[in-house]
Amino acid sequence: MAVGVIALTRYQMSPGQSARAASVWPAQSSIARATDRPTLVMFLHPYCPCSRASIEELNRAMAQCPGKFATRIVFFKPSNQPMQWANTDLWRSAEAIPGASVIVDEALPQANMPSLVEHFGAFTSGQVFLYGTRGDLLFSGGITGSRGHAGDNDGLDRLIALVGGEPISIAAAAKTPVFGCALNDSATGPVSSVGTEGGLP
C-alpha cells in the first residue's frame, strides 16, 4: 500500500511537457486577441481528468479579476473525430464560465493547416498563455499545484498578479509547471457517445 501511495504522489506531482511558447502572439493564429486588455489562452484535452482543476482555478482567477483579461479556451480534437467527441463535461464546464470563448482546435493536414496547439507551442492539457495588449508573452505555464488538485499555487498567484497590475518581474512571471495529460493523445474518448467520459493515463 505504501508503494502505491508513493507512486500516486509521484504521478500527481509530475508535470507534463513544458510549452515551446512563442514570445509574441502567433501571427497566423485564428484566435482573436484583445487589444484593450491581456488575452489568456488555455489549452485543454477534453478527456483529461487533471484539467478539471485547471478550469476551477481559471474560474477563480476570473472571479478575482473581473474584466481584467479576455479568455479563450481551446480544446484539442483529432481531425478524424466528429465534433461530439469533444463534448465532455470538461467542455461544458468551460462553456459555463461567463465571458470565456470556447474554441475547437483541429489541424487539417490535407489543407496544410497547422493546429492552434502547433501555433502556440502547447504540449500539455492545462497549459495557459497570457499575452499583453501588444501581443507580448507575459506568462506561460499551469495554474494548478499538482495533477487534478485546485488550491493556492505559484502559477495562479503570478497570473492574478499580472492581470491585477501588481509589480512582478519578467523572470518570476515567465513559466510554471503544467500538470495535465498530453494534448495530442487522440486514442482516448468515445467516437459517438456524447458526454461519455474516458480517462488518460
What span, in angstroms and rounded, lies between the C-alpha atoms of 76 and 107?
9
> What's the rounded mean pLDDT across residues 100-105?
93
Q: How many domains does the chain have?
A: 1
- Confidence check: pLDDT of 192 > 70: no
> Minimal CA–CA distance to 83: which of 54, 111, 103, 113?
103
Residue 110 belongs to a domain: yes
- More confident site: 116 or 34: 34
CATH of the domain at 43: 3.40.30.10
8-42 burial by CB neighbour count: b if 16+ within 10 A, else e? Answer: eeeeeeebbebbebbeebbeebebebeeeebbbbb
* Confidence band of 169 (pLDDT split at 50, 70, 90): low
Residues 120-161 pLDDT 10s: 989 999 999 999 999 999 999 999 987 566 777 889 999 998
Residue 123 belongs to a domain: yes
Q: Are 146 and 52 in contact (CB under 8 A)?
A: no
* Confidence band of 174 (pLDDT split at 50, 70, 90): low
Residue 2 belongs to a domain: no
**Residue 72: domain span:** 14-26+34-173
Residue 142 belongs to a domain: yes
